[in-house]
Structure 1
Amino acid sequence: MSTTTVSEYLLDRLAQMGVESVFGVPGDFSLQLAEKIIDHKTLDWIGTCNELNAAYAADGYSRVKGVPGCLSTTFGVGELSAINGIAGSFAERVPVIHIVGTPTTRQMKAKPLLHHTLGNGHFEAYSKAAQHFVVASATLSEPSTAGAEIDRVLVDCVTKSRPVYITLPTDLVNAIVPAVPLQTPLDFKDPENDTATEAVVLAEIEKQVSIAQERVVVIVDGCALRHGVANEVKDLLEKTKFPVFAAPMGKSSVDESYERFVGIYNGSPSLPAVKQTIERAALIISIGAIYSDINTGGFSHDLPKTKLIELHTDRTEVFHALYPRVGMKRLLPKLTAKLQTPACTMSIAPYTYPIPQEEHDGITQPWLWPTVGSYFEPGDVIVADTGTSAFGTLDIPLKTGSVYITQTLWGSIGYSVGAALGAALAARQCQMGRTYLFVGDGSLQLTVQELSTIMHLDLKPIIFVLNNSGYTIERFLHGPTRSFNDIVNWKWTKLLDALSDENTVSESYKVTTKTELDRLLSKPQFGEVTTLVEVVVPKFDAPPVLRRYLQ
């Protein structure tokens, strides 16, 4: 029987899943694993400036590449630094694998006064903290069970689309285990639906579609992205021609250049044409819904149960009736085949985001977002930080094959910088378009150092820094003129020079007028290297969708 080591078993499984990069910061309890990653034939080690950004990068990588993101940290100090990023992935339902190098199995039992511990013998404190933010964990302690434990949590990571946690003691890195299980790929298929219940669901949905006739619409949300049903949704839409919307967390789950795409629906802040189409629908088919506050416009979404069908990963709801064990992944193809009604001809308004005509030359947020959006190309990756950037990019129509990334539920400022690292790396591996990063001046100060890793890898993102003198979204919530919403105004156009080495080529610009920004975006060579654009906007200005949200 052929053999391998515990670490090689784990890394080979990652490679089989399509992972090509592992993010992290080396620490003495994880150094041996880092060496194994570097020596692996298909995996790359991506060193980040801190563990929090490694977690953010793994999250962004997963969202673009469609496989779990992976990070490696050391025991205690490293893993705790990453935990905010892991919690965000849990909330946002992103599959991430967190591998933690720990002291030896003997030390984990004897609990000596080791560095990176609390000094009280509570070696298990960190793993207990992690349990709140992962869907499964494996504490590797014996070579005989290591392979099975690794396989178990990796399957849970993919099928449940949430983070998992694996501890690897230093004395098990090179422990010998059988390699035979690696010959059998892991099974990530969704469980079969209950046959009898599924038949009832299909018949009931077909009946309600027939009753509603031309007044059926579809809303696609975040779990459709996370659980890989985009192709099934596309097939349904192409056959039925039902008008389709995306919720904020579902943005880019549907091709926004599709002729039957109506726009982003998030309750009262939605564009008027979007709300009108929803309101006149007789039947709403919701796919992968996540009813969080920002995702629903402060719970202002108008989706009455009496005309709502919900497809989820593990259940289906038709009006007030709940059908457990009927998941959307297996239901959707059968539903598409079942629906025999003629293609829907319900009229919809074209999805556009026109650039407003303003008499002055100063840059405003209502003008900024549709302007930059008009330069997007198919396959681009758009990363927006929490705040005005996330609200501003929400209504920009994206081109075919684009991916949109933000934290709608977790909302951790600074997330976008690390996420852009992972997203841009995944985009390069998938041969996608450019990566755009939109981040406010306040948010950027939290995680700015990861721009150095981005430049070191020559990922060439286009970075728009909104200089509005502090935390503008917080000003709208409370304390518009209070000092806690102010920040130090950095010399933003000097950042790339300060964070790169002498061999790095980058460009930085500061624009204060519409004319300057239009001229810059129209340059033929714009964005060919890592590019930072400082955009000066008024302190108390905000995107229209944010103003509607706060009304």
Structure 2
Amino acid sequence: MSSIEIGNYILARLEQLKVRRMFGVPGDFNLGFLDLVEDHSTVDWVGNCNELNSAYAADGYARVHETSLGVVLTTFGVGELSAINGIAGAFSEIVPVLHIVGVPSTTQQKAKALLHHTLGDGRYDAYTKAAEQFTIAQGHITDKETAAAQIDRVLTECLIKARPVYLTLPTNLVYEKIPADGLEIPLPRAQPANDADAENAALEEIVKIVGGAEVEGGDVVILVDACAIRHDARKEVDALVRKTGFPVYVSPMGKTAVSESYERFGGIYMGSISHPDVKHKVESAKVILSIGSIKSDFNTGNFTYSIPTARAIEFHSDHTKVFHATFPAVGMKQLLPLLTARLQPTTNAVSVPNFNLNAVLPDESNSIISQAWLWPRLSHFFRPHDVIVAETGTSNFGLMEVPMPEGALFVSQMLWGSIGWAVGSTLGAAFAARDLGFGGRTILCIGDGSIQLTVQELSVMLRHGLTPIIFLLNNAGYTIERCIRGPERKYNDISNWKWTKLLEVLGDLDGVESRSYTVKTKAELSALLDTPEFANGKKMQLVEIMMEKQDAPRALKIQTAMGSGSYDF
């Protein structure tokens, strides 16, 4: 029987799962494992400026590398707690991330030694208790007999439930040898098989309901949300959409879950914030097939979804709801292909105008770069297979309402909404896009306030030769917060930076690996976007876009004016 070090067993499993990058920060309790990582032929160590950014990067990597997971490595205590906001965001948004923590030796833990990075009171379980709140499973390697089982268990939970997991690796066990034969058994990735009787009952009921609606001439529409992406159901959704021809809409969090160039795609549905025609089409449908919904405040237009239970069939990863009836243990990944096979193309195949998404530039006579003009103008710049990352705030709401080309991937964090997340996420997304050979560019849209939180990761992008295009909105502070409250308050102001010198400071010392620009007018921005050298994205580029302080996208203005529990004053 062959053997393998515990540290290399972890790396072998990650290699099987097609993980190519590990993010994190070195610390004395993880250095032994890091030696193995650095010597590994497939898993590459990235190295971040801080642990929070590394967690954001692992999140972004997992979102783009949809059949794999993100990995972040930190050290005990100080490192893992710094990463915890990013891990919590991945949990909230259903993103699979493995958090590996290098911890003191098992002997030191048992003795409750007064080590650095401890709380000084012997509580070696304090950080684990914190991690339990933000991870779906926790594994503690305490001996070589159970190490492989612990590793395989948490990785399996991460893959199947698409949420973060936590794994501790003591310094004295990294090089302990364990049997390698377990690596011959692939880890399961799919949800457990649906309960056959429940699945058949749900299927028969759905086919009957949809068929009855068609006979009566009522509309059947499909509404796709983020969990269809997170639980690897893109292909199943696409097959259902194209076989039936039912009009299909997406939620904000589900943007690019289906092709926005598809002729039966109708746009974005977000409750009362939707275009009136989209709102009418969805809410008046006789049956709504809702796939992977996440009914959070921003995703539903402040809970203004108006989809009665009596007309909604909901498909989730581990259950299905048909009107008021729930079918446990009937997941969408396995149910959707069976449903597609049973349904016939719609007889109500009238055209589906795309009301929400258009790239029509507003008729503005001035030269000011407005929010209403910027986002449709950028949409003309996007290309197939681009990865487009939007920061929480104006960028997210602005990009939500413009079309994305075929094969483009939209990445945003609407539920957790941690400002600054997009910089680290862009790092991870750019690596994943490069590793997978997407062929498009990685584009980040972010405000001057948000980027100041996590700007250090631009240096990591430069160090690794990544070439994102960064559109930086310079509108003098926190615009989304100004929309919520305090439009003239000092707490929404920030210090202005010399943005065009930023990349030089952060690593491009000779100014040859990047380019930076400032644009102040519509004509200047359009001329830059139309320049082939810029558009080809062969080097890292930052564009500072000068904008009005109080301007905001349409959807953001409406959302904040409506208010919600978090900002209803």
**Which residue identity does 2:109 align to in structure 1?**
M
Alignment partner of 1:489 is 2:490: no
Alignment correspondent of 2:452: 445
Q: 1:193 aligns to what SS in structure 2?
A: coil
Alignment correspondent of 1:24: 24
Alignment partner of 1:515 is 2:519: no
Alignment correspondent of 1:314: 318
Q: Deviations over 1:513-535 (max 9, x none)?
A: 10100011011100331010011
* Mapped contact 1:243–1:262 kept (Cα < 8 A): yes
Shift, 1:340, TM fit: 2.9
Q: 2:455 aligns to what SS in structure 1?
A: helix
Q: Deviations over 1:143-179 (max 9, x none)?
A: 0000011000000001000000000000000001000
Q: Which among 547, 550, 554 is matched to residue 540 of structure 1?
A: 550
Alignment partner of 1:459 is 2:470: no
* Mapped contact 2:243–2:344 kept (Cα < 8 A): no
Distance in 1 separating the partners of 2:409 and 2:303: 25
Between 329-338 and 120-129, report the one with greater CA deviation: 120-129
Stretches of 4+ aligned residues off by more than 2 angstroms = 340-344, 350-353, 501-504
**Which residue identity does 1:466 align to in structure 2?**
L
Distance in 1 separating the partners of 2:505 and 2:191: 48
Alignment partner of 1:468 is 2:448: no
Shift, 1:64, TM fit: 0.4
Between 247-256 and 157-166, report the one with greater CA deviation: 247-256
Q: 2:548 aligns to what SS in structure 1?
A: coil
Matches within 5 A, 1:32-71: 32-66=32-66, 67-71=68-72
Matches within 5 A, 1:270-349: 270-342=274-346, 344-349=348-353
Matches within 5 A, 1:18-417: 18-66=18-66, 67-213=68-214, 215-342=219-346, 344-350=348-354, 351-417=357-423
Shift, 1:420, TM fit: 0.2
Q: Deviations over 1:314-355 (max 9, x none)?
A: 111111111111110110000000113545404321342321
Distance in 1 separating the partners of 2:144 and 2:265: 52
Shift, 1:207, TM fit: 1.2
Q: Deviations over 1:417-463 (max 9, x none)?
A: 00000000100111111001011111001000100001111111000
Shift, 1:501, TM fit: 3.9
* Mapped contact 1:441–1:468 kept (Cα < 8 A): yes
* Mapped contact 2:359–2:380 kept (Cα < 8 A): no
Alignment correspondent of 1:4: 4
Distance in 1 separating the partners of 2:347 and 2:461: 46
Q: 1:217 aligns to what SS in structure 2?
A: strand
* Mapped contact 1:243–1:346 kept (Cα < 8 A): no
In structure 2, stretches of 5+ residues that fail to align are 562-569
**Which residue identity does 1:463 align to in structure 2?**
I
Matched positions, count:
551
Alignment correspondent of 2:533: 525
Q: Which among 467, 476, 487 is matched to residue 480 of structure 1?
A: 487
Between 33-42 and 54-63, report the one with greater CA deviation: 33-42
Identity score, percent: 54
Distance in 1 separating the partners of 2:344 and 2:528: 51
Distance in 1 separating the partners of 2:405 and 2:109: 52
Question: TM-score, normalization: structure 2?
Answer: 0.95
Distance in 2 separating the partners of 1:500 and 1:395: 35
* Coordinate RMSD, CA, aligned: 1.1
Distance in 2 separating the partners of 1:88 and 1:79: 14
Q: Deviations over 1:384-417 (max 9, x none)?
A: 1111111111112111221111111000000000
* Mapped contact 1:74–1:101 kept (Cα < 8 A): yes
**Which residue identity does 1:60 align to in structure 2?**
G
Distance in 2 separating the partners of 1:21 and 1:279: 44
**Which residue identity does 2:72 align to in structure 1?**
L
Q: Deviations over 1:247-275 (max 9, x none)?
A: 11111111111111111111111123321
CA separation of 1:301 and 1:405: change in aligned 2, threshold 3 A: same
**Which residue identity does 2:157 align to in structure 1?**
D
Distance in 2 separating the partners of 1:411 and 1:73: 23
Q: 2:91 aligns to what SS in structure 1?
A: helix
**Which residue identity does 1:366 align to in structure 2?**
A
Distance in 1 separating the partners of 2:233 and 2:347: 21
* Mapped contact 1:23–1:48 kept (Cα < 8 A): yes
**Which residue identity does 1:529 align to in structure 2?**
K
Q: 1:190 aligns to what SS in structure 2?
A: coil
Distance in 1 separating the partners of 2:362 and 2:478: 25
Between 541-550 and 19-28, report the one with greater CA deviation: 541-550
